[in-house]
Amino acid sequence: MTIHDLAARGLHLLDPEDAHGVTIAGLKAGLGPVDHAVEDAILRTRLAGMTVTNCVGLAAGFDKNAEVPGPMLHAGFGFVECGTVTPLPQAGNPRPRLFRLGEDRGVINRMGFNNAGLDAFAANLRRRRAPGPVGANIGANKESADRIGDYVTGLKRLWGLSDYFTVNISSPNTPGLRALQTKAALEELLGRLAEARRDLRQIGADNRFDYPVFLKVAPDLADGEVETIVETVAAFGLDGIIVSNTTISRPESLQSSHRAEAGGLSGPPLMDLSTQVLRRFHQANDRDLVLIGAGGIASGADALAKIRAGARAVQLYSAMVFEGPGLIARVKRDLADRLRAEGFATVDAAVGTG
């Protein structure tokens, strides 16, 4: 256990949201960990044209305003996703809105897309210096009269500043947002984004100026919705799908006194559900879409389970609340060891084998 892991545990003496604020401030002050190890080549992959030195990424939600992508890359992540960011700043839902489920190693949040808005986000991205892919997770303001327009605004405003984009229509904490996953709404959303993306491509020579765009989905999908989403995402030229966001379901195994709090559940209690849904997306994916697995990863074994279910890369966040930032290096080492033990020469060779 590193000194940074001990510090993370010490932060449990604070309210969860206050502890997170202290963490961001510490990272901005240069107090974060640095992973000096040479990246293991077995974890190297490509995501829709992006080369990542390792397939373990930081999920959205940790760095809402793109304040610390550099420190998180230095900590060992292969790619970092910032946000969710909305066009206008918004305070989010009333506090308390973030809960640690200690007995379950899980987290429930109902943050409500609290963020400083696109202008602040863009300014922070302009200042970043650390090498490595940094993505922007874009969303809609709660009171927006045109939520689909908000996504178009986010894409346009951050074009050229972000290495990839994630369209977040799956947070359970903005009322009505998940309705954008239905076929008609999704077609309108992705159609308007595709049109904006075509216009933005013209900025570059020979129309090659482009960035990957992913859709982030909920794990709480009914029968038939997975196939519809895959078909629609492919039809409108998106590059892949991130599976999944938090869940509104509550496993009976939860022990924490916070288990009944409203919001999205993440961490290990989400692992099985999100992996099952990921496997459904892989089975439906006959369009060569990139799948990224998120939800519940706390070990190399968890990461490998996502990869074998169909993910080309994985993302984690909630487990660091309990394990500290040293978890990043441990997951990478464990994943590399397990890949070799199972006879895989690369992480790509393991995709969809389980």
Place of tokens 């989403």: 229
User: What is the enclosing helix (H) or strand (E) of 313?
Assistant: strand 313-316
Choose the catalytic residue: 144, 171, 266, 299: 171
Write the pLDDT tens digit of every residue in 264-277: 999 999 999 999 99
pTM (global) more than 0.85: yes
Read off the pLDDT of residues 205-240 as tens digits, 9 standing for 90 and up. 444 579 999 999 999 999 899 999 999 999 999 999
Residue 208 confidence (pLDDT): 52
What is the per-residue DSSP string for 78-104?
SEEEEEEE-SS-B--SPSP-EEEEGGG
Closest by CA to 114, choosing from 83, 147, 143, is 83
Residue 18, pLDDT > 60, answer yes
Q: What are the tokens at 138? A: 């874009």
Summary mean pLDDT of the chain:
96
pLDDT of residue 130: 87
The residue-averaged pLDDT of 144-163 equals 98
**How many structural domains comprise the chain?**
1
Beta bridge partners of 240: 214, 290
Q: Give the whole-angstrom CA distance, residue 53 versus residue 55.
A: 7
Euclidean distance between the first and the last CA atom of the chain, given in angstroms as a whole number = 31
What CA–CA distance (Å, rounded) separates 140 from 352?
33
**132 has a pLDDT exceeding 60:** yes
* Cα angle, residue 83 at apex, residues 8 and 287 outer, rounded to 5°: 115
Residue 280 token pair: 């459904």
Half-sphere CA count of 103, side-chain side, radius 13 A: 7
Residue 208 belongs to what domain range?
3-350
Per-residue pLDDT at 204 exceeds 70: no
Active site residue 266: no
278 pLDDT above the threshold of 90: yes
Any residues with CB less than 8 A from the CB of 333 and at least 6 apart, and which?
A: 40, 300
For tokens 């305003």, the residue is 65
pLDDT at 156 over 60: yes
The SS3 of residue 164 is strand
pLDDT value of residue 1: 76
What is the CATH classification number for the domain harbouring 194? 3.20.20.70
Reported confidence tier of residue 339, pLDDT bands at 50, 70, 90? very high
pLDDT category at 94 given cuts 50, 70, 90 is: very high
